[in-house]
Structure 1
Amino acid sequence: MTESADDPFADVRWTTCSLDDFRDLYWEIVAPRLRAEGRDPETDRPTHRWFREEGLRAFLAALRRHHGRSFGDFWREDLGLGGDEGYDWATDHDETRDALETFLDRRRRRHSLRESTIEAKRRRLNAYVLAYREANDTGDLLSPVARDSETPTHEAVHACYAAFDWINAREYSARTKARVRSVVDGWYQHLVGRRLAAVNPATGLYDEFKWQVESSDPSPLSHSHVRALVRAADSPRERLLVVALAAWGLRANEVASLHVSQFVRDVGEDEAPYVTFAERKNGPGEVNLVYGLDALDARLDELAAREEWSGYLFPSSRGADPHATRETVWSWFRELAERADLPERIDGERPSPQLCRRYWYDTYTSVLEAVLEGLEDIAAEQGSDDPRVVLSNYLSEERSRKVRREFMRSELAEAFEGSV
């Protein structure tokens, strides 16, 4: 079907459309066209080419422009649908998409790479594809470098450099830019080796772009890592995810099953709100919420707007479970850590919810040390060289808790709010 002169979105004001509005547009306009072709709009994900042929590309463009969503992300996260036909590459050029996937598939099989590593390479390649399309107004990355191409070599090189100029002008970290350059160079080398390209236009990028990457990162998860996660979080769900893991110190399975009924906020003036657990690893328990209530409120506002909501802060989009699983929380965090450009190894392991919990304990330990340092003078006046004596014997339990909470709130605010 060729593009119709009748625009089905003629009356839509994209700038005012929420994600809920996009969901409605999918079911009201996109889904009926799929059904008319005998396709199931809940499992048969339409391709970019299909949107173009149906005259519906404005939907995709507005989704990306106003919400930073690819259709693949929208399909999985906002529509909660399955039947994904593949990665949402930033190009409609089938030959380019095939060449990218073939490269990754051979890396997977011949280099024995983990799937998580392949996904990281796929995202970096897609960053280049997007930049190439934006800088050169085409999603065809193959024709300029093909063996039978009529494009002069210098123009093919210029197009590649133009894409990296586009990347260089965006707020990517030096490490991300270097990683994108590395995988792009590898892809072009692969094309040349397979006799699918006559030239690798990326060979001179190492001399052209001198990005300074820090030689090392702090071993444990640090305040700067948390700030990077907060910067990368682009939804109330993701921000609450970071808060629940790093500011509250919850386990991944506890985060996955959080329910609004667990939160107690009607407390005394000198007390902190808390979240209760009927069952924890060491039995029932409570966790004080000294920081992050704004993230909780934002998520509650978002969920309350839904027609049906079971009360879970991370509801499941499919399956019999009413809430997300531990594995889903890990997957969300790994994706966010990748987008935040965290080091591939922190304290000897990949970034994970467990490192966030360890960060919480490390922060609390440093807070306790800071509190004790502040009591040293008082301890000396009492004839003791151990400030713990003052903490346990001269401060009421209530006052001691309040002091610790104030120090902890200050530490977490430095980590989270230093990013905005």
Structure 2
Amino acid sequence: MTGSQYQWARKSLSELVDFYYTKIRPAMQEDDYNPKHGRPSYEWLAANGFSGLSYTLREHHDLTVKEFFVDEVGLDDENPGGNNEESGYDWGVRSDETIEAIQTYLSTQRNRGELAPSTVVSRRSRLAEYARIYEQLHGPHNLTRNLNDIDERPVENDRCMEVFDVLKDRLSTDQSRLKYLGDVQQFYDHQVRFEGAKYNPLDGANDQFRWEIDTPDNKTVDADGMRAIYEAADSIDSQLLVLALGAWGLRPNEVASLSIDQFVLTDDADNRIVFEQRKNGPGEVALLFGVDVLNQRIVDLDGPNWDGYLFPSSRSSTGHIAPQTVNDRFKRLGEAAGVAVEGQTPTAKMGRRFWYTTYNDAVKQMMEGLEGIAADQGSASTEIVSQNYLSEAEKRRYRRESMRNELSGVFG
């Protein structure tokens, strides 16, 4: 049963207590979550379809989730099944309703958005700082208390903007200010879309502050430069390092910690690297080129004392080299090859950007290859052919073939 089918708003407080015993408690027990050891966490409630409880308690019974489970149901004020990192977090925020609203939002982001834990932690930190400043300026009030009253919007807009007046002075760069603004705006957007709020008090705030992010440094190694760097790599491990950046598009930290157990090698077109956690969550990277070098590296390292890292280090506590070492080695190869990017020695990040520019070129090549099909079908453009006539599997196959050809031209 979905949360919308529970008809939360129609339940009296006593009915919600009964609902705990008939629905929530059995679900906790089925999930090995012992009710005798404390109340369920916000994260668990959201993940199991009970997120609507928070809203109806707040709006119809003037209770927080914590107050409901502790005072009305009689559970201990502990949540052993929750996220340990969150349960021990020092919010520095006096309003339980604010903490609950942020927790519910972050749980949704974590479970539905599949965000990396580091991303969730960063967002929590910024939202907590915003809430602390809000309380310092306006008292220990719930951040969402006025969002159901459209008449309060002008005043609430001013309250929220005053918080960013403080943050503007505390933060040193527009980039940091915009990160805070973006995270808080998304929090309020969530309230509007999923929690019944009638407005976002920070809509249009960007226009007020006019903060700007500097144009990113997107310098990259071109195909000729990358070919020269690869040719300068005179060992299997250095060749693998260049391929991991330029042919696989990995980040320097991902290259440094590559382990044999991340690779799925099937001797066909589905070779890939599996990451349990990347910057934006779990993911996989297709291995379109360089499997022969990878296999040789495995042969070279294989032995009773090998722990599986492709770039091991006996001097490091992690067992593998550091991201800075990846950068240093790539720069040395660039210097040996006599390659420069706008007068600078190319860095590992520049090598990784080569993958993106090559991928864009490969997609263009793929679209050009569809021109014949478009003509045969009488279509106005290759975009129409791609969208309407090719399955996702076919488009992926065409992209990979085109990308493999591009990489072969550089590293082959």
TM-score relative to the length of structure 1? 0.44
TM-score relative to the length of structure 2? 0.45
- Specify which structure has the higher proportion of helix: 2
